[in-house]
Amino acid sequence: MAVIAMLGYGVVGSGVAELILKNKNKFKNRLNEELVISNILVRDMDKYKDNKNKALLTNNIEDIFKKKVDIVVEAMGGLNPSYEYVKRALEMKKHVVTSNKDLIAEYGTELLELANKNGVSIHFEASVGGGIPILKSMNECLVGNEIKSIRSILNGTTNFILSKMNHDNMSYEDALKLAQKLGFAEANPESDVMGYDAARKLSILSTIAYNKKVYWKDINIEGITDIDINDFKYAKMRGCSIKLLGVSQKDADNIYASVRPVMVKENSVLGKIEDEYNAILVEGDAVGDVLFTGKGAGMFPTASSVFADIADIVIHKEEEAITFNEEEAKINKKWNTDGKWLIRIKTDDRIKVIENITANFTSSYILSNAISMDKDEVVAFINADSETIIDDCIYNLKKDGYVKSSKKLLIFEK
């Protein structure tokens, strides 16, 4: 028998409770193990007056810890009080399963070490990519590979907004409002649209992939709030759409890591990932490119991964599933290899800006006035040896008063 205590009974928590119930017989028959939920911690008992699991609910954390429990499932989200509760569970030698990327991105190293010290494990498959089995695949199935790069779509909210802007020609503001209306975006969408959510997930992926700590705040993070309809129009000229990509890759001894909007070919694998789907393209030195896609969030996709973690503990009894190396990676925030870019510079002096662009970059295709959407703007597709060269060029133009505003978008052509 495996006794499971649950912290949180929201979307993820109730999905997990249902999957446990649904798989009870399968586990009993095939594996001779019984799964039992001891208690479920909720904040507001009144909210669940008519719930079928009412008898299991408590709003007192002590009820959770005073019972004999094997596994604690944390599905509350956020850092407070989940950090404290998870630490306490590990110290009491309970295995922990969590879907909480904030927690792992912030305290992963500490919590994994604590679990290890106490001879238990902490699993967090659902924290990245929802139902997609990416962490276990990377940790176990690709163990013979040196991971060279990750290109990923890790946030469903922004992918929904960008999909709407691309296909339905909606403005960012309208697409965000629609996402909020449909429940795909929160009232305060900051964590999603600013790229923080994707950065936390990319940091977890990258820490496993490169066996060095990639802390999420060290990643270059750009959100999608500056993306406008014209960006999509320019992208279409190159057969591209725009996706918020989590990208990391080996860059000599360093690791380049960023969350940023990128122009990707519409008919590429990542270009085809729409709405709430997530995708992770992993490049290993032996395996080549492997792509994983599926629903990145939602009740049952997330519960599917939480349940797999529970099963891992019950069946496979692994005590240390994933390890985080404490050694910190040196992180490059700039794309310092050859790249294609779209740059847009608002200016009162097109000639001066164009002069500088053609002088600075290996090649440049400058849109004529007639094609450009805004007469005060120089729009160019360029090839540059590094992002630094672009930033320097714009910095110098700005210093000399030629730039009212500017933006740049990396282009991935495969």
Q: What is the closest distance, in whole angstroms, from the C-beta atom of residue 249 to its own copies in the complex?
A: 18
Query: CA-to-CA distance for 103 and 329, rounded, in angstroms?
Result: 20
State whether residue 319 is helix, strand or coil: coil
Q: Could you give the dihedral angle defined by the CA atoms of residues 283, 289, 294 and 295, in that order, rounded to the nearest 10 degrees?
A: 30
The residues with which 251 forms a beta bridge, in sequence order, are: 254
312 or 387, CB closer to its own copies?
Answer: 312
The residue assigned the tokens 């139902």 is: 131
Please state the φ and ψ torsions of residue 253, each to the nearest 5 degrees: -85, -10
How far, CA to CA in Å, does 25 sit from each of 199, 217, 301? 39, 44, 21
123 or 408, CB closer to its own copies?
Answer: 123
How far, CA to CA in Å, does 315 sit from each of 18, 21, 112, 319, 412? 19, 17, 20, 11, 42
Q: What is the closest distance, in whole angstroms, from the C-beta atom of residue 102 to its own copies in the complex?
A: 22
Q: What is the closest distance, in whole angstroms, from the C-beta atom of residue 313 to its own copies in the complex?
A: 12
- Token pair recorded at residue 365: 């295709």
Q: What is the closest distance, in whole angstroms, from the C-beta atom of residue 373 to its own copies in the complex?
A: 27
231 or 283, CB closer to its own copies?
Answer: 283
Length of the chain: 414
Q: What is the closest distance, in whole angstroms, from the C-beta atom of residue 36 to its own copies in the complex?
A: 16
333: number of Cβ within 10 Å: 13
320 or 400, CB closer to its own copies?
Answer: 320
Query: CA-to-CA distance for 375 and 96, rounded, in angstroms?
Result: 58
Examine the residue annotation and report whether 352 is marked as an active-site residue of this protein.
no
20 or 342, CB closer to its own copies?
Answer: 20
Query: CA-to-CA distance for 100 and 409, rounded, in angstroms?
Result: 30
Query: CA-to-CA distance for 73 and 79, rounded, in angstroms?
Result: 15
Which of these is catalytic: 94, 101, 164, 201? 201
Question: In a 10 Å sphere around its CB, with 0-12 CB exposed, 13-18 middle and 19+ buried, how is residue 102 labelled?
Answer: buried
Half-sphere exposure of 96 (CA within 13 A, CB side): 35
Q: Do the Cβ atoms of 101 and 178 come closer than 8 Å?
A: no
Question: For binding to its own copies (CB under 8 A), which residues are involved?
Answer: 15, 19, 22-23, 30, 125, 131-133, 136-137, 140-145, 211, 267, 269, 272, 284-295, 298, 300-301, 303-305, 307-308, 311-312, 316, 318, 323
48 or 292, CB closer to its own copies?
Answer: 292
Query: CA-to-CA distance for 382 and 204, rounded, in angstroms?
Result: 33
Q: 223: which residues sit within 8 A by CB, 6+ positions away?
A: 158, 193, 194, 195, 244
Q: What is the closest distance, in whole angstroms, from the C-beta atom of residue 209 to its own copies in the complex?
A: 14
82 or 305, CB closer to its own copies?
Answer: 305
Q: What is the closest distance, in whole angstroms, from the C-beta atom of residue 400 to its own copies in the complex?
A: 47
Q: 129: which residues sit within 8 A by CB, 6+ positions away?
A: 152, 154, 201, 278, 280, 292, 294, 296
Q: What is the closest distance, in whole angstroms, from the C-beta atom of residue 287 to its own copies in the complex?
A: 4
The residues with which 147 forms a beta bridge, in sequence order, are: 284
State whether residue 408 is helix, strand or coil: strand
248 or 268, CB closer to its own copies?
Answer: 268
Residues labelled as active-site residues:
201
